[in-house]
Amino acid sequence: MGYTQDVLSNVLEKNPGELEFHQAVREVFSSIEAVFEIYPEYEKAGILERLVEPERQIIFRVPWMDDEGKIRVNRGYRIQFNSAIGPYKGGLRLHPSVNLGIIKFLGFEQIFKNSLTGFSIGGGKGGSDFDPKGKSDAEVMKFCQSFMTELFRYIGPCTDVPAGDIGTGAREIGYMFGQYKRLKNAFEGVLTGKSIEYGGSLLRKEATGYGLVYFVNNMLEKKGKLIKGAKIVISGSGNVAIYAHQKIKELGGIVVAMSDSNGYIYDPEGLDLNEIKIIKEIDNKRIIEYKNKYPDARYKENSKEIWKIKCDIALPCATQNEINSEDAEILVNNGCYAVGEGANMPCTPEAVKIFLENKILYAPGKASNAGGVAVSALEMCQNSTRTQWTAEEVDKKLKEIMSNILKNISMTAKEYGEEDNLVTGANIAGFLKVANAMLAQGVV
C-alpha cells in the first residue's frame, strides 16, 4: 500500500463513524499522492500522520436556561487542528446536525484553505448542536455566553481566533465577544466577523460571497466566458448566498433560484435580492414568504430539487453534500458549464468526478470560498494595529487575494501535469506550505 493509503486506513480505523471527516481526508489524499514521489522527506517526517490528528480537541458542556426556565444542555466543540503556519482560525457552526465528524471535516479543510489565502493562519473549527432557529434573542444570548464561558480559556488573538459559520452571524459573535471581554478583562481581536463599531472589518459580511464570485469570474474569463447575462442558481439564502447574489447582480448575471432548508424559489426573469434580504436578514423568516410579494414566482417544498433548474452556473452555498452524482448529471445535461463552491464540501466526490470528466469549470470550496477567512485575516491585521480600512481598500485586497489563489492553484495543477484541475491544484498548493512549515519546526 502507498503512504496515503496507509494513513487513510488508520484514519478510518481510529475515527469510526466520522463520515464527513473521512470524506474530507480521502478527498485531499486522492490528489496529493504525486507529491510523496517527488519529496520522500514528508513521509520520513510523518507529515500525514501528524496532519490528520488534531493538535487539540475540546468538547464541553454548554448549559443554559430557556425563556420558560427549563435547563437546556448542548455540546460545544473546538477542534484546534493545525497551527504550523499561524494561530488556529476558523468559524463556529451552530446547527442541530453538528457532531464531531462534521467539525473535524471543517477543521481539516480549513488548514488548506487558510494556507491558500497566503496569510499566517492555521486551521481550526468549532460549534455546537444548538439550533438558533425559533430561539428568542435572550435565549441566543444565554447560549452564547455559556458557550464562551468555557471556550475563553482556550482561545486568544495569538492562539485561536474563531468566527462565523452556519447559524453564527454578527449577533452571536457580539454576544460571544462581550462575554470573552468580561471574563478576560481584555479588549482584543479574539473573534472576527464583529460589527464595525467594535473592531469588525468593513466587507467581512460580504467577503465570502463576493470572493466566490470574483474567483468564478476569473475562472470564466480565462476560458472566454462571462458572468454577464448568465443564468445562475444559488442554493441557500444565508450570508454566503446573499452576498454571492449581490456581486452576481453587479456583474450583470441573473440569479433565477435560491433556497433554504425547506424549499426553493424560482423566477426565470431573476429574483429580487432586496426582498430576499428583508425576509432573511430583517424578518428572519422562511424563503416561501417571497411568494407574498411575488405570487407568480414558483416555490417548491423540496430544496434538493433546485439543481433540476436549467442554469449556466451553479453556486452551492448552503451545506455539505448538497450536490450528489444524480444532481451533477442533471446539471451537466442541462448545459451548466461552471460550478463554484461557496459552501464547504457541497459536492460529493462522485459529483466532482462527473464535473471534471465533463470539463465543467469547477471551483473547489477551499479555494473559492476562501475570501471569508481571508477578510477575517484582514480584520485581525486591523485589530492588531488598531486601524480601520475603508471598504474600497478591503475590496481591493480581496480581489487580489482571490486572483492570486486562482493563479497559484492553476500553476500548481499544471506543474503536476493536471492542467485546469483546480482540485489537484488547491490540495497540493495548500498542503505544501503547511508541510514545509511542519518540516521546519521539527517533530511537534
Hunting for cell 438558533 — which residue is that?
132
Residue list 53-82, contact with ligand NDP (CB under 6 A)? none
Q: Are 346 and 324 in contact (CB under 8 A)?
A: no
Applying CB under 6 A, among 90, 101, 236, 340 the residue interacting with ligand NDP is 236
Q: Does 114 bind ligand NDP (CB under 6 A)?
A: no
Instruction: Considering the complex, state which of residue 111 and residue 271 has its C-beta at the smaller distance from ligand 2IT.
Output: 111
Applying CB under 6 A, among 89, 245, 280, 308 the residue interacting with ligand 2IT is 89
User: Cβ of 387: how many Cβ atoms within 10 Å?
Assistant: 8
Joined grid coordinates for residue 23: 470524506
Q: Give least dist CB 34 to ligand NDP, A.
A: 28
Applying CB under 6 A, among 11, 373, 423, 429 the residue interacting with ligand 2IT is 373
Joined grid coordinates for residue 349: 466526490
Specify the stretch interacting with ligand NDP by CB under 6 A; choose among 79-87, 236-244, 381-389, 421-429: 236-244
Give me the active site residues, please: 125
Q: Give least dist CB 86 to ligand 2IT, A.
A: 12
Distance CA 372, CA 376 (A): 6
72 forms beta bridges with: 64
Residue 106 identity: L
Pairing of strands 254-259, 231-235: parallel
Q: Does 128 bind ligand NDP (CB under 6 A)?
A: no
Q: Does 107 bind ligand NDP (CB under 6 A)?
A: no
Applying CB under 6 A, among 54, 91, 123, 211 the residue interacting with ligand 2IT is 91
Q: Give least dist CB 168 to ligand 2IT, A.
A: 8
Residue list 246-285, contact with ligand NDP (CB under 6 A)? 260-262
Could you give the dihedral angle defined by the CA atoms of residues 39, 112, 28 and 23, in that order, rounded to the nearest 10 degrees? 150
Joined grid coordinates for residue 251: 456583474
Q: Does 127 bind ligand NDP (CB under 6 A)?
A: no
Residues for the chain: how many in total? 444
What are the strands of the beta sheet with 71-82, ordered from one edge?
A: 56-65, 71-82, 122-128, 88-94, 160-163
- Partner whose binding site includes residue 192, from ligand 2IT, ligand NDP, none (CB under 5 to 8 Å by kind): ligand 2IT
- Partner whose binding site includes residue 62, from ligand 2IT, ligand NDP, none (CB under 5 to 8 Å by kind): none
Applying CB under 6 A, among 84, 151, 279, 343 the residue interacting with ligand NDP is 343
Q: Are 337 and 225 in contact (CB under 8 A)?
A: yes
Alpha helices in 265-390 (DSSP H): 273-277, 290-293, 325-333, 349-357, 365-368, 371-385
Q: Are 85 and 114 in contact (CB under 8 A)?
A: yes
Q: Give least dist CB 372 to ligand 2IT, A.
A: 4
- Partner whose binding site includes residue 239, from ligand 2IT, ligand NDP, none (CB under 5 to 8 Å by kind): ligand NDP
Q: Give least dist CB 132 to ligand 2IT, A.
A: 15
Q: Does 192 bind ligand 2IT (CB under 6 A)?
A: yes
Q: Does 200 bind ligand 2IT (CB under 6 A)?
A: no
Element (H, E) at 309: none
DSSP 8-state assignment for residue 154: G
Give me the phi and psi of 93, to 5 degrees please: -100, 125
Instruction: Considering the complex, state which of residue 163 and residue 244 has its C-beta at the smaller distance from ligand 2IT.
Output: 163
Element (H, E) at 361: strand 361-363
232 forms beta bridges with: 255, 313
Residue nearest to ligand NDP (CB): 238
Distance CA 81, CA 91 (A): 13
Specify the stretch interacting with ligand 2IT by CB under 6 A; choose among 13-21, 95-103, 224-232, 368-376: 368-376
List interacting residues with ligand NDP (CB under 6 A). Answer: 95, 97, 164-167, 208, 236-241, 260-262, 303, 317-319, 342-344, 369, 372
List interacting residues with ligand 2IT (CB under 6 A). Answer: 89-91, 113, 163, 165, 192, 344, 372-373, 376
